Amino acid sequence: MPIPEWVPIREDLRGFEPYGAPQMTDVICLNVNENPYSPSAVVAADIAESVRDVATGLNRYPDREATELRAALAEYLGHDLGSEQVWAANGSNEVMLQILQAFGGPGRSALSFAPTYSMYPEYARDTNTDWVTGQRDEDFTVDVDRAVSLINAVQPEVVFLASPNNPTGTVMPFDTIRAVLAAAPGVVVIDEAYAEFCREGTPSALELLADNPRLLVSRTMSKAFALAGARLGYVAADKAIIDALRIVRLPYHLSAVTQAVALAALRHSDELLATVDELRATRDELVTWFEAQGIETAATDANFVLFGQFADRHAIWQGLVDRGVLIRETGPQGWLRVSVGTRAEMEAFYRALQEVLGR
Ligand SMILES: *Cc1c(COP(=O)(O)O)cnc(C)c1O
């Protein structure tokens, strides 16, 4: 439904639809890169108890600075980070919006390299920030020389680099990140939403924080941490950058309930992250399966695989939905993205896809 004429919405927002992947029930959900394993009964009980404890104080506003939570997140991240170098919000999507509120805006620009996370341009639009995209190579890596010349030409205040990238799964090498940091006049955000799923030995951009005050590394509890429903994202950066984000945050943006849930989950981080090894193994099996089927995949360090290419990808997507498996129609034309589920869910996906392909 388009917004009716009489609604005085901003002209530049007219004609847009609210963004989001289809949400369906009674299907196997392999479409939004969630962790398929729900928190255990023990973790759930601790979360529930923590919420009960704060419930008696809900007449009061929450800790505006989320001090305890930021300290716990800093400890989880390691790298000698202090709580004043970490900021948290309702999902890393809110962090991203705050970054554009603080560093973007009218007359300013933000830049990324497509195909990449489809939310970045939405937040640029919402904050009246010009949005510029460079193109990734055939193999979905970013060419350093072309990236640097684009940054030199555009002089963006914000650069977003997802690593591993969504929807391709591509990790960005340190050399590329360093070159972007050297060329970019503003802040550089490495979106590490999928960092925990990286293959052994893949370094985190957190290692670069100490030497690069304009670097921000964002993380989330939505993916590896199996906590998408709680909405908790966070970012690590220089204290002065965090202080800039604190200027634009809504007062009391992070509810006492959210803070309590995230703190409880962090107490059980080992247990919540225990499924990551299994998901990485299942991902590698999935890639091998695609290879055996003669289906092309993009090299992935995340909990999803981009596969293709299909003349009519929508027909494949629909065929899978008709068989009770929901994946994501996203990425470049001809490609589809499937999240890594449980082994049983992957078996169902294999059967459904083979049927759809008439095999
Ligand atoms: C899923 C995802 C996020 C996480 O978003 P939340 O708001 O934390 O749930 C961030 N960046 C990318 C690239 C993602 O795919």
pLDDT digits (tens, 9 = 90+) for 177-222: 999 999 999 999 999 999 999 999 999 999 999 999 999 999 999 9
Residue 1 has pLDDT above 90, yes or no: no
Residue with the nearest Cα to atom 1 of ligand 1?
193
Residue 9 has pLDDT above 90, yes or no: yes
Domain count, the chain: 2
Quote the pLDDT of residue 21.
82
Gap between the Cα atoms of 139 and 225, Å rounded? 29
Of 271, 303, 327, which closes a domain? 271
Place of tokens 């640097």: 148
Amino acid at residue number 147: A
Give 214's DSSP letter.
Answer: T
232 CA to middle of ligand 1, Å?
10
Q: Which of 196, 223, 305, 340 to mutate to test the pocket of ligand 1 (most atoms within 8 A of CB)?
A: 223
Residue range(s) defining the domain that contains residue 351: 11-38+273-356
- Cβ atoms of 110 and 129 closer than 8 Å: yes
Quote the pLDDT of residue 22.
84
Q: Same domain for 231 and 252?
A: yes
* Residues paired with residue 112 on neighbouring β-strands, in sequence order: 133
Q: Same domain for 127 and 263?
A: yes
**Residue 20 is inside which H or E element, if any?**
none
Q: Same domain for 90 and 144?
A: yes
Quote the pLDDT of residue 182.
98
Which of ligand 1's atoms lies nearest the C-alpha of 165? 13
Quote the pLDDT of residue 66.
98
pLDDT digits (tens, 9 = 90+) for 291-329: 999 999 999 999 999 999 999 999 999 999 999 999 999
- Both tokens of 316, joined, read 């494949």
Q: Same domain for 52 and 31?
A: no
Model confidence, pTM:
0.97
Quote the percentage of the chain above a pLDDT of 90. 96
- Cβ atoms of 194 and 164 closer than 8 Å: yes
Residue with the nearest Cα to atom 6 of ligand 1?
91
Measured over all CA atoms, what is the biggest interatomic distance in the chain, rounded to whole angstroms? Answer: 61
**Residue 220 is inside which H or E element, if any?**
strand 215-220
Residue with the nearest Cα to atom 14 of ligand 1?
193
Residue 175 has pLDDT above 90, yes or no: yes
Of 240, 271, 302, which closes a domain? 271
59 CA to middle of ligand 1, Å?
31
Of 246, 271, 296, which closes a domain? 271
- The C-alpha angle 286, 290, 293, rounded to 5 degrees, equals 140
Instruction: Calculate the average pLDDT of the chain.
Output: 97
- 67 in a structural domain: yes
Q: Same domain for 65 and 117?
A: yes
- The C-alpha angle 187, 73, 67, rounded to 5 degrees, equals 95
- 92 in a structural domain: yes
Q: Same domain for 160 and 178?
A: yes
Q: Same domain for 177 and 197?
A: yes
Which of ligand 1's atoms lies nearest the C-alpha of 232? 8
- 2 in a structural domain: no
Closest CA to 334 of 303, 283, 296, 301: 296
330 CA to middle of ligand 1, Å?
15
Residue with the nearest Cα to atom 15 of ligand 1?
166
- CATH number at 291 reads 3.90.1150.10
Q: Same domain for 48 and 85?
A: yes
Q: CA of 183: how far to CAs of 174, 177, 212, 268, in Å?
A: 14, 10, 12, 40
- Cβ atoms of 282 and 349 closer than 8 Å: no
- CATH number at 256 reads 3.40.640.10
133 CA to middle of ligand 1, Å?
19
Place of tokens 């799964």: 169
